[in-house]
Amino acid sequence: MIPVTGYEGRVVGVLGLGRSGLAAARALEAGGARVLCWDDGEAARTRAEAQFFEIADLSRDGAWEAGLALLVVSPGIPALYPAPHPAVEQARARGVPVDNDVGLLFRALAASDFDDFDTPPRVVCVTGSNGKSTTTALIGHILETAHVPCQVGGNIGKGVLALDPIHDGDVLVLELSSYQIETARSLAPDVAVFLNLSDDHLDRHGGRGGYFAAKARLFELGAPERAVIGLDEPEGRALADRLRGRGMEGESPVVAISASRKLPDHEPAVTARKGFLAERRGGRQTASADLREMETLKGAHNHQNACAAWAACRALGLAPKVIEAGMRTFPGLAHRMERVAEREGVSFVNDSKATNADAAEKALLSYDRIRWIAGGVPKAGGIESLRPLFDRVACAYLIGEAAEDFAQTLGEIPHEFCGDLDSAVERAWAASGAGETILLSPACASFDQYPNFEARGDAFRARARRIAGLPEEDAPEAEAGAGPASETGSDQETTP
């Protein structure tokens, strides 16, 4: 845990008692604050009470009579769109600042004394619509293989304040969603990565412009020394343009990355074309790596992730050969194109983390003959954008709330209504043949049937392993409160 100081003897409200909320409450108490906790879900409040946290309804006037100095909001809770939570309205009406765990982390780091450290801690933050988790995990893996002390957290793994106390030379690698960035009052990464932008969570941000603005805060408020920017979308190119010339003595902090475009020679760049990664500086190639045999980094989307991780690790001072060696041993990410079983030439692939169409597109592009399990809580636009890939689908097995809408979009493409995931897996297996892939890539959130995408992926993995005759294995331990058990307790399950 990283204690949060500056509120000794003062009262702080924590709204939302999922993973990040409980970690923030502990960190504030460790720093000497009195913490009042609230969650709209009774189960989340009961869990918090069992851990001896003080519960008070922060949406009501009575709780505010304690004289709150700060309101800390968990990422899943809207602070503005589509409507502010009543507790947030209370804070703003009373002139009480609203912050989140990410803002508190950077404030804690700024207040810490690292004069005795030979190497001060550094922070790498990764954001974007798709690929954040893979890129964050890949950076962490490369650092570990290079024997650089690091911790990985944020929107993946531990909440940022649940990380271990900072030690000499530590690097914090944080995946940050737009939800986490938009509310943070302090942002100060040493290296920040922007991968891409696609339509997602637009109701939360008041449209695509608000969504991009939330992401851009990491770079404009945070002012990183190095900004690794994906230039494959217009927003990335616009962000890079804003940042150029903002470095020391007018030097641009931008390192451009792309898996599809030829980039100008006047600034540092890392690109991937035809399976080869190339780093360029001063108009000439300075390093390269062959990505073609890296099984866990297949596909153009993963090549973009590899470029981003390479650029971030180079900014931290790692040598090209060290980075390449780390990439070659990267085990991949659970729930992201994770091959979990095989039987009679049929592969079972868990891509439960694909909670929107753009993410599902990456998986559909990676296999030729697919028995596709899709559905859940639909996102805006549904699967319309995936029409060009329907010829890869032998049959779609539809589950959850989105089934009817997805069926209309699929039209004459073979599809079946399965209701739940277990039925979909069994029916896909019964119809499959050698060389086919049974792919869970839902293009939807899981909240209609599962608390989070991890639970959905674990259920798929367990069913696939039973079909393949493999022994049961322990599912990865779920983070407490990580799903939407309540309105305010949910740390978002997807990758906004």
Quote the pLDDT of residue 247: 60
Domain interval for residue 407: 338-467
**Which CATH number is 64's domain given?**
3.40.50.720
Quote the pLDDT of residue 90: 96
In order of 90, 196, 251, 333, the CA distances from 495 in angstroms are 29, 12, 32, 14
Check whether 495 is labelled as a binding-site residue.
Answer: no
pLDDT digits (tens, 9 = 90+) for 38-83: 999 999 999 999 999 999 999 999 999 999 999 999 988 989 988 9
What value does the mean pLDDT take over residues 440-465? 94
Quote the pLDDT of residue 483: 32
Is 424 inside a domain boundary? Answer: yes
Q: Which of 305, 328, 351 is the last residue of a domain?
A: 328
pLDDT digits (tens, 9 = 90+) for 123-171: 999 999 888 999 999 999 999 999 999 999 998 888 999 999 999 999 9
Quote the pLDDT of residue 200: 65
Specify whether 130 is located in the same domain as 35: no
Instruction: Provide CB contacts within 8 A for 213, sequence distance 6+.
Output: 205
Terminal CA-CA length for the chain = 26
Check whether 134 is labelled as a binding-site residue.
Answer: yes
Total domains present in the chain: 3
Task: Report the C-alpha gap between 493 and 445 in whole angstroms.
Answer: 7
Specify whether 201 is located in the same domain as 126: yes
* Phi (first) and psi of residue 20, to 5 degrees: -75, -35
Looking at the chain, the whole-number percentage of residues with pLDDT higher than 90 is 74
Quote the pLDDT of residue 248: 56
Instruction: Provide CB contacts within 8 A for 248, sequence distance 6+.
Output: none
Q: Which of 42, 71, 99 is the last residue of a domain?
A: 99
Is 481 inside a domain boundary? Answer: no
Task: Report the C-alpha gap between 432 and 346 in whole angstroms.
Answer: 7
Is 288 inside a domain boundary? Answer: yes
Specify whether 180 is located in the same domain as 275: yes
pLDDT digits (tens, 9 = 90+) for 284-315: 999 999 999 898 888 888 999 999 999 999 99
Q: Strand 150-154 vs strand 226-230: parallel, antiparallel, or unpaired?
A: unpaired
Quote the pLDDT of residue 245: 77
Looking at the chain, the whole-number percentage of residues with pLDDT higher than 70 is 94
Specify whether 215 is located in the same domain as 183: yes
Q: Tell me the sheet residues that pair with 125.
A: 174, 192
Specify whether 392 is located in the same domain as 264: no
Check whether 236 is labelled as a binding-site residue.
Answer: no
Check whether 345 is labelled as a binding-site residue.
Answer: no
Q: Which of 287, 304, 328 is the last residue of a domain?
A: 328
What value does the mean pLDDT take over residues 25-41? 96
Specify whether 91 is located in the same domain as 16: yes
Specify whether 134 is located in the same domain as 236: yes
Is 474 inside a domain boundary? Answer: no
Specify whether 342 is located in the same domain as 269: no
pLDDT digits (tens, 9 = 90+) for 340-386: 999 999 999 999 999 989 889 989 998 989 999 999 999 888 999 99
Is 26 inside a domain boundary? Answer: yes
Check whether 130 is labelled as a binding-site residue.
Answer: yes
pLDDT digits (tens, 9 = 90+) for 1-12: 999 999 999 999
Specify whether 314 is located in the same domain as 348: no
Specify whether 186 is located in the same domain as 301: yes
Quote the pLDDT of residue 474: 53
Specify whether 347 is located in the same domain as 299: no
Quote the pLDDT of residue 343: 96
What value does the mean pLDDT take over residues 239-258? 83
Is 476 inside a domain boundary? Answer: no
Is 480 inside a domain boundary? Answer: no
Check whether 131 is labelled as a binding-site residue.
Answer: yes
Q: How many CB atoms lie within 10 A of CB 66?
A: 15
In order of 85, 162, 283, the CA distances from 370 in angstroms are 42, 40, 43
Check whether 129 is labelled as a binding-site residue.
Answer: yes
**Which CATH number is 158's domain given?**
3.40.1190.10
Is 352 inside a domain boundary? Answer: yes
Q: Which of 289-298, 312-321, 324-333 has the lowest mean pLDDT?
A: 289-298
Specify whether 182 is located in the same domain as 264: yes
Q: How many CB atoms lie within 10 A of CB 34?
A: 16
pTM, 2 dp: 0.82
**Which CATH number is 390's domain given?**
3.90.190.20
